[in-house]
Amino acid sequence: MSTVDHHLVELALQRVGGVAFERFANAFFASLSGADFVPLGGTHDGGADAFSEQGVFEERGTKRFWQATVEPEHRSKIRRTVRRLQEFGREPGQLTYCTSSIVPHSDREEDFLGDELGLRVRIRDQRYIVAHANNSAQAIEAFNSYLSPELAFLQQIGGTTVLSHAPPVAARALCVFLGQELERRRGNTDLLEAVTDSLILWALEGTDPDRSKLMDKAAIQKKIEGALPAAKHFIRGVLDNRLEILTQKSNPSGRQLRFYRNEQAYCLPYETREIVRQENTEDESLKLDVSIEFSVRAAEYFGQEIPEGTIDSIVNICH
């Protein structure tokens, strides 16, 4: 049975929308608990068809309910869900709150909200999901079906979000990619070669030998100069040499291009695109780790009562 990279689970949970997460939670938590989940909304069950909180499930024949949500503020969501359940004549004895976010000090939050609401509260946050992502084939399939589509951006050159705010330039992804490349290759080659190689790789984004999507030298040069006009002052004098070096298997950068002599054109082979994907994953994972640290510190600062939306605002400001 193939497994799922935990870093990819974290990244997908950061980006997943409400509907997809609800479907994921239904499949994922059923695989762990063996519970018979019954969606409440729209079932015409005791007035539950009018229930306004989406992503609520119950275990048949019990007073245990599950809430799946991507909303970042767990306290207000849990309180609202319990209140709505009671308004429809239900008597919840336990609410399991499933969230795509991280809830700092979740054990303390369970006790605090449980005492306030008079029922047992369990919190299953991002860390719990990541830890159990490979528990079963059904759990892995839940990830593949509902979360993995959120990771398509990792395949793109410059696709990471490490540059969270940028000037209004046309090639934001180019700025990200150049930064990644120069950082990784510092000391291995001189600056002009590093920048030129990175611009070539960026220009070849979207090429695919399996679909005969190739690009000749003139098209590469035009794309680079169109996105970064200042590049024309140095790119034309070194482009031929760098293209020749990048097509060699022994080139020191480790990023190889494929050259088709009949077409006199180039493309990014699968191996190079896979390197880009892996490095995007590393950078995005680092940003996520930093975001979590910001969130934890903010939660510790505010203590028990955190104003709604405050933690997300703090994390965004810090970035």
Structure tokens belonging to residue 192: 């002009």
* Residue 99: predicted pLDDT: 92
Per-residue pLDDT reduced to its tens digit, 257-306: 999 999 999 998 888 888 878 888 888 888 888 888 888 888 778 766 66
Selected residue with higher pLDDT from 221 and 192? 221
Percent of the chain topping pLDDT 70: 79
H helix intervals, 88-216: 106-117, 126-131, 137-146, 172-185, 191-203
Question: Roughly what angle, to the nearest 10 degrees, separates helices 6-15 and 270-302?
Answer: 70
Start-end ranges of CATH 3.40.91 in the chain? Answer: 6-149
pLDDT band at 49 (very low <50, low <70, confident <90, very high): very low
* H-assigned helices in the chain: 6-15, 18-33, 74-87, 106-117, 126-131, 137-146, 172-185, 191-203, 217-227, 232-246, 270-302, 310-318
Residues 9-32, mean pLDDT to the nearest whole number = 86
Mean pLDDT score of the chain: 80
> Please, are residues 238 and 224 in contact by the beta-carbon 8 Å criterion?
no
User: What is the Cα–Cα distance from 164 to 317, expressed in whole angstroms?
Assistant: 10
Kindly report the number of other CB atoms within 10 A of residue 180's CB atom.
21
Least confident range of 6-15, 169-178, 188-197:
169-178
Binned at pLDDT 50, 70 and 90, residue 45 comes out as: very low
Q: What is the pLDDT of residues 98-154, one digit of tens each?
A: 999 888 888 989 999 999 999 999 999 999 999 999 988 988 999 999 998 888 777
Looking at residue 51, its pLDDT comes to: 38
The secondary structure of residue 43, as a DSSP letter, is: S
pLDDT at position 129 is 93
Dig out the tokens for 15 from the structure: 């980006």
pLDDT of residue 44 exceeding 60: no
Q: How many residues does the chain have?
A: 319
The structural architecture, per CATH, of the domain 6-149 is: 3-Layer(aba) Sandwich (3.40)
Residue 172 has pLDDT above 70, yes or no: no
Band (62; pLDDT cuts 50, 70, 90): low
Q: Please, which pLDDT band fits residue 47 given cuts at 50, 70 and 90?
A: very low
Please state the separation of Cα 305 from the chain's center in Å.
Answer: 28
Q: Decide if pLDDT at 240 tops 70.
A: yes
50 pLDDT exceeds 50?
A: no
Q: To the nearest whole percent, how much of the chain has pLDDT over 90? A: 18
Token digits of residue 196: 């030129």
- At 304 the pLDDT is 62
pLDDT at 318 over 70: yes
